[in-house]
Amino acid sequence: MPPRLSRPFQFLVASALVASGGLLLAQDAAPPAPPSPSGAIGDGSGSYEVGGIRVDVSAGNADAARYAGWRLAQRKGWQMLAARLGSSAGGVSDGTLDSMVSGIIIENEQIGPNRYVARLGVLFSRARAGALLGVADQEQRSTSMLTIPIAYSGGAAIAFEQDSPWAQAWSRFRSGNSSIDYVRPSGTGNDALLLNLGQTTRPGRAWWRIVLDQYGSNDVLVPIVRLSRQWPGGPIIGAFEARHGPDNKVVTRFTLRVGNADALPLLLDEGVKRIDAAYQADLRSGGLQPDSSLAYVPPVAPTPTPTPTPSDMPTDAAVVPGGAITLSPGDTATVAITVQVDTPGAAAVTATEAALRSLTGVRSAVTTSLALGGVSVMRVAYDADPALFRAQLEAKGWVVNGSGTTIRIRRAQASDGNPG
Question: CA–CA separation, 119 vs 157, rounded Å?
Answer: 37
Q: What pLDDT is stored for residue 321 in this prediction?
A: 42
For residue 10, the model assigns a pLDDT of: 33
Name the phi and psi angles at 416, rounded to 5.
-80, -5
Q: Are 147 and 224 in contact (CB under 8 A)?
A: no
Write the DSSP string, 221-275.
EEEEEEEEESSTTS-EEEEEEEEETTTTEEEEEEEEEESSGGGHHHHHHHHHHHH
pLDDT at res. 30 = 33
pTM: 0.51
May I ask the CATH class of domain 335-411?
alpha beta
Q: Which of 122, 130, 70 is nearest to 101 (CA)?
A: 122
CA distances from 380 to 177, 233, 324, 392 (A): 81, 91, 17, 14
SS3 category, 89: coil
Q: Roughly what angle, to the nearest 10 degrees, separates helices 165-172 and 264-284?
A: 60
Calculate the dihedral angle through the C-alpha atoms of 350, 355, 359, 362, rounding to the nearest 10 degrees: -20
Supply the DSSP string of 329-373, one letter for each residue: TT----EEEEEEEEESSHHHHHHHHHHHHTSTTEEEEEEEE--TT
Domain 144-292 has CATH 2.30.30: no
pLDDT at 242: 94
Residue 376 has a pLDDT of 87
Mean pLDDT by 10 residues, the chain (420 residues): 37 32 35 38 60 91 92 90 79 83 87 92 81 66 89 88 91 82 86 88 85 88 93 92 92 93 92 93 87 69 61 46 42 78 86 88 86 84 86 88 85 53
Taking CA atoms, 81 is separated from 52, 71, 139, in Å, by 12, 15, 14
H or E segment and range at residue 169: helix 165-172
Residue ranges, comma separated, of all CATH 3.30.70 domains in the chain are: 335-411
Q: Are strands 236-244 and 219-229 parallel, antiparallel or unpaired?
A: antiparallel
Q: How far apart are CA 157 and CA 154, in angstroms?
A: 9
Predicted local confidence at residue 300, as pLDDT: 60
Residues of the chain with CATH 3.40.50: 144-292
- Is the CATH number of domain 43-133 3.30.1660? yes
Return residue ranges of the chain for CATH 3.30.1660.
43-133
